[in-house]
Copies of this chain bind each other. A is one copy, B any other.
Amino acid sequence: MIFEPTVLAATMPDLTVFQFNIVDNIFSMTVATMGAAALFLFLSRSTVDRVYQPALLVSGIVVSIACYHYFMIRSSWDGAYELLEGNYVGTGAAFNDFYRYADWILTVPLLMVELVAVIRLEKSKARSLLTRLVIAAGLMIALGYPGEVISSPEGWGTRVMWGALSSIPFFYILYVLWVELTASLSSQPPAARKLIEVSRLVLLVTWAVYPIAYALGGTEAALTAKAGGAVDPSGIVALQVGYALADMTAKAGFGVLIYFIARAKSTGQDGASAAGSGAYAGA
């Protein structure tokens, strides 16, 4: 590993070879997915109208940040464990939960920006909307973190409290985005309408995974395992796998969707978009 693992988070429960590896491999696959999405988004900019190019640029930056963080998350995971007599046991260094929160602090506001940029709201409206969304995103992440790092079964109630507090801005963001996306539909070209409906749904489904993963990683059994108790640590595995899958979909998948919306809305009349629109139409 590149950096010495840090002890910002919890002690590590023993894992089976399978449990350790499913997390390790999904982290590696997330690095690859984010990197591939970054290449796609950066290099596709010239195929959409100039007005939509910033949306693709920001989307590409989001997955680049996530690519870096998953590389570090994986490095921290590998540094937190060693193989001992057929099981993975803690090295004494704890897995650093903060990488993921650092990632979210940077990328969630940018995800809002890329979405607002591609639906092209009127300027003053976009500003007010983004201000509210970015504040809510900051609150959501800041309130979730104190619960995330709790690692004893006695802390269960406290974790539930932080999770519940974090859910308030979480639901506010989803509500606002749903309402705004729905309201924007009438002003969108027909080709983009269906895609925006899809993105509304993708947002709802992928974001729903985060509280579920948070809850699975915060059961009494999972917290007991985190505290070193000899119970089933599968909740901890579920949390890591759930976050990784949700991040892949909500960042890389969503970024590709932003591309398709931008493409559908491009007229090709500003001299920047592709003559052959629809080249990916079947993808």
Contacts and interface: CB of A to CB of B under 8 A. Distances in A.
Given A8-B17, A25-B8, A32-B106, A117 B74 contact: no
A3 B82 CA distance: 12
A159 to B, nearest CB: 19
Nearest to A121: B282
Given A28-B102, A98-B21, A106-B33, A47 B40 contact: no
A113 B3 contact: no
- Per assembly, the copies of the chain total 2
A241 interface: no
A135 interface: no
Interface of A: 1-4, 6-8, 17-18, 20-21, 24-25, 28-29, 31-33, 35-36, 39-40, 42-45, 47, 49-55, 57-58, 60-61, 64-65, 68-69, 72, 74-75, 78-79, 82-83, 92-93, 96, 98-99, 102-103, 105-106, 113, 116-117, 120-121, 123-127, 129-130, 270, 272, 274-276, 278-283
